[in-house]
Each structure stands twice: as C-alpha cells, then as structure tokens.
Amino acid sequence: MKNLTILGSTGSVGENVLRIVRIHPERFTVKALAANRNVEKLYEQAREFSPRYVCIYDPQKAKQAAPKFKRLGVRVVTGGDGLLEVATLSSVREVICAMVGAVGLKPIFAAVQAKKTVAIANKEPLVMAGKLLLETAAKRGVAVLPIDSEHSALWQCLDKQDPSFVKKLIITSSGGPFRNFKGALSKVTPAQALNHPKWKMGPKITIDSATLMNKGLEVIEAANLFNVLAEKVGVVIHPEAIVHALVEFVDGSHFAHLGVADMRLPIQYAMSYPERLENHLPHLDLASLKTLHFEKPNLRRFPCLELGYTASRIGGTLPAVLNAANEVVVEAFLNHRIGFLDIPEIISKVMSQHRLIRKPSLPDIFAADAWARERAEELL
Ligand code: MG
C-alpha cells in the first residue's frame, strides 16, 4: 500500500491520479489533497477518498470551508505552510506534484528533504530548479520521478542502462497547430493557437505547444533530470504523437517508448513504479496506424525552442528567467495584448538583460523569477 499526498488534486493531472487510485484501492491510499481554491471539487474528492488532511491554498476559502471538512473528519490547513505540512507527513511515501506555477517548488524541496519519493507533473520545478532539486534528492537518496510524457518515456528507456553508453536523448513534439501553417505567424489569433491537434490541455501549455516553447522547456527539463548537456537532447517532430521519446546509445541502437497519447499512462507509471499495473486505457494498434512520420523542427520559424537550448546551455538562473518571462507573455498573447511573434521576441530580450547567477540557491531562483516577470511586463 502506497500512501500519497497529491498537490494540485483538482487539476487535470490530479483528477487522473485519483482515477488511478479509484481503480486500484488495494495499492494506493490518499493521505492528503491540496488545491488552490476549487473547494467544491476538493470536497467531493475528500468525501470519496477520505484523506486525513486537505490544504486549501487560499486562506479565505480555507477558513470558510474548514467546518464542512471537519464534519468529514478531515483537517484543513492553508497557505505555503499548509503545503509544507501535507508534503512532509510522516505516513506519506510519495508526493505527487501537479500544481500550476512556481508555488509547488517549496513543498517539493520539503518533501525531498523529508525523504519522500516525488513525482512531478508540472514543468516549473524541473525547469527553474531542476539541478538543485536533483542534487538535493541525490544527497537524500530520494527518487524524483517525471510525469511529463516525454520524460517518463526517456526514464523508461533508460531503465538500468549505464548513462555512459547514452549518446542522445530524443524527445518528440507533435509540432503543434502551426506545423504546416502557410500564412504569416505574426497574424495568428489565440483561438487558432489554442486548437491543438493531439493533446487536450490547459491554455498556457497549449500556447507553449504552438510556439514550441513547450519543447524548449522540456529540453531544459530533460537535461536537468538526466544530468546531460543540452547538446545531448534532441527534438524531432512527430505529428502522430505515438513515439514519446527515444534514447540513442553509443553503438547506434535506439530504444523508443510508444503508447497512445494519454496522460494517464505516465501518471500511472510514476505511481506504480517499479511495477506496472493493468488498465482499461486504449492500447496501441500499429497495424491500423500504418505509418509514423518524423521531421526536423524549424528553429527559424519557432525560435522559442532555440531559447530553451540557450537557457539550458547557460544554466544558472536563466531557465527560471525564461520560464517566468514566457508565462507573462503567453498571458499577454491570450489577452490580445501582443502578437504571436512578440512572444519569443520579448522573452529573448528579458533573457539577454538578465544578470546571471551561476550556482543559484532557491531564494536566488525566486528572485530571478520575480525580476523576469517585472521586466517582461515592462517590455509589453
Ligand atoms: Mg510533455
């Protein structure tokens, strides 16, 4: 029986985690759930899964809802301290982090310090502070498990292989909605960019897929997670989204991970590892697919991918700066304040103006994040 804390339980990854718990009640117990402000959904989840704690991040909401949860026998905690509390409960073995934004960083570090296995679905912790996190985890002898589909695929291909035999880690990208777009990218609207061909996701990550910034962030994530240089991480466009990643070994052998494009697969593996559990998800039928396509990404048309490589190569606080500036400009694009091509333009400016800290602490990373948000906002 594995005891879990789920940070971000009311989001789409959090709900999928709970779906898997529902199918395998003999394997998983939910000890704590955390959400930002969706109290109604959190209450339904608490009723079904009977955690000991819930964290409602918004203190006002937490205060209002506490009596209701108390009647279920559930303790309510709140704010950053509440997150730290549920991330470090002594009975919990694995903490699954699916919170949007940088707010998950501190509880993840706390969980690692408390020797919990952490499974990470959102990119920010691994992009902003991946090196520091992996170093801390190695010191504590704790595993950091990726849920991002490409990184889960890499992790599965790398299983028990000697890292010195790895030549390249290759992640795939569906190419987003503008892969074959013939018109001017400067004129595309948020509605066009939100129309993703393969994955159903939130608006921020869908825009990141359209600019290929999602891949840029994933290059940083992969380099940090598997401790390789950015040059060793390749990206290939693969519109069918069946092959999620490949590992090339020095002898020319490639291991690939294939599966249907469904987030429940990598989520379940991060929960069941090192075992595999049967499920009712649709399975792959290669004969009916017939063909798979691969092509090179167009870095000139999608400069955000190149920005990801630059940030990873230079390292330090630069990945946090890229991530923060990107959040600001994507929001501005969604609100029709800037055009599609202003996204890489502004991020690139913010990055070039940043005063780098090579070996940042966690407070340095938060400071760089705040600086980049302010600078991007000014440049808008
Ligand atoms: Mg991904």
- Quickly list DSSP for 242-279: -EEEEEEETTS-EEEEE--S-THHHHHHHHHTTS----
Using the mean position of ligand 1's atoms as its centre, give its distance from the Cα of residue 60 in Å: 34
Using the mean position of ligand 1's atoms as its centre, give its distance from the Cα of residue 148 in Å: 5
Using the mean position of ligand 1's atoms as its centre, give its distance from the Cα of residue 177 in Å: 15
Give the integer Cα–Cα distance in Å for 228 and 218.
13
Give the integer Cα–Cα distance in Å for 34 and 9.
6
Q: In the structure encoding, which two tokens stand for residue 289, read together? A: 């697919």
Task: Please say whether the beta carbons of 362 and 132 come within 8 A.
Answer: yes
Q: In the structure encoding, which two tokens stand for residue 92, read together? A: 């919990």
Using the mean position of ligand 1's atoms as its centre, give its distance from the Cα of residue 150 in Å: 5
- Inform me whether the pLDDT recorded for 266 exceeds 80: yes
- Mean pLDDT calculated for residue range 363-376: 97
Q: What is the CATH number of domain 2-146?
A: 3.40.50.720
Using the mean position of ligand 1's atoms as its centre, give its distance from the Cα of residue 152 in Å: 9
Q: Are strands 243-249 and 166-173 parallel, antiparallel or unpaired?
A: antiparallel
pLDDT tens digits, 40-84: 999 999 999 999 999 999 999 999 999 999 999 999 999 999 999
Using the mean position of ligand 1's atoms as its centre, give its distance from the Cα of residue 100 in Å: 14
Using the mean position of ligand 1's atoms as its centre, give its distance from the Cα of residue 184 in Å: 26
- Mean pLDDT calculated for residue range 230-256: 97
Give the integer Cα–Cα distance in Å for 216 and 12.
22
Q: In the structure encoding, which two tokens stand for residue 197, read together? A: 């061909």
| DSSP per residue, 39-102 | HHHHHHHHHHH--SEEEESSHHHHHHHHHHHHHTT-EEEEHHHHHHHHHT-TT--EEEE--SSG
Using the mean position of ligand 1's atoms as its centre, give its distance from the Cα of residue 240 in Å: 14
Please tell me what DSSP assigns to residue 106.
H
Q: Which of 221, 160, 188, 209 is nearest to 341 (CA)?
A: 188
Using the mean position of ligand 1's atoms as its centre, give its distance from the Cα of residue 63 in Å: 36
Using the mean position of ligand 1's atoms as its centre, give its distance from the Cα of residue 222 in Å: 10
Confidence (pLDDT) at 33? 98
Give the three-class secondary structure for 35: strand
Using the mean position of ligand 1's atoms as its centre, give its distance from the Cα of residue 149 in Å: 5
Using the mean position of ligand 1's atoms as its centre, give its distance from the Cα of residue 297 in Å: 16
Using the mean position of ligand 1's atoms as its centre, give its distance from the Cα of residue 98 in Å: 13
Q: Which of 60, 17, 18, 12 is nearest to 39 (CA)?
A: 60
pLDDT tens digits, 150-162: 999 999 999 989 9
Using the mean position of ligand 1's atoms as its centre, give its distance from the Cα of residue 64 in Å: 37
Using the mean position of ligand 1's atoms as its centre, give its distance from the Cα of residue 242 in Å: 13
Average pLDDT, the chain: 95
Using the mean position of ligand 1's atoms as its centre, give its distance from the Cα of residue 346 in Å: 24
Confidence band, pLDDT 50/70/90 cuts, at residue 114: very high
Using the mean position of ligand 1's atoms as its centre, give its distance from the Cα of residue 71 in Å: 40
Using the mean position of ligand 1's atoms as its centre, give its distance from the Cα of residue 52 in Å: 32
- Inform me whether the pLDDT recorded for 202 exceeds 80: no
Using the mean position of ligand 1's atoms as its centre, give its distance from the Cα of residue 120 in Å: 12
Confidence band, pLDDT 50/70/90 cuts, at residue 199: low
Using the mean position of ligand 1's atoms as its centre, give its distance from the Cα of residue 59 in Å: 32
- Mean pLDDT calculated for residue range 363-369: 97
Confidence band, pLDDT 50/70/90 cuts, at residue 216: very high
Using the mean position of ligand 1's atoms as its centre, give its distance from the Cα of residue 147 in Å: 8
* Contacts of residue 55, Cβ cutoff 8 Å, sequence gap at least 6: 7, 32, 33, 34, 35, 62, 76, 77, 78, 82, 83, 85, 86
Please tell me what DSSP assigns to residue 365.
H
Using the mean position of ligand 1's atoms as its centre, give its distance from the Cα of residue 263 in Å: 9
Domain ranges of the chain: 2-146
Using the mean position of ligand 1's atoms as its centre, give its distance from the Cα of residue 12 in Å: 14
Distances (CA, A) of 367 to 125, 214, 379: 15, 23, 18
Q: In the structure encoding, which two tokens stand for residue 200, read together? A: 């159903």
Give the integer Cα–Cα distance in Å for 38 and 189.
29
Using the mean position of ligand 1's atoms as its centre, give its distance from the Cα of residue 67 in Å: 39
Using the mean position of ligand 1's atoms as its centre, give its distance from the Cα of residue 153 in Å: 10
- Burial grade of 378 (CB within 10 A; 0-12, 13-18, 19 or more): exposed
Residue 69 corresponds to which amino acid? F
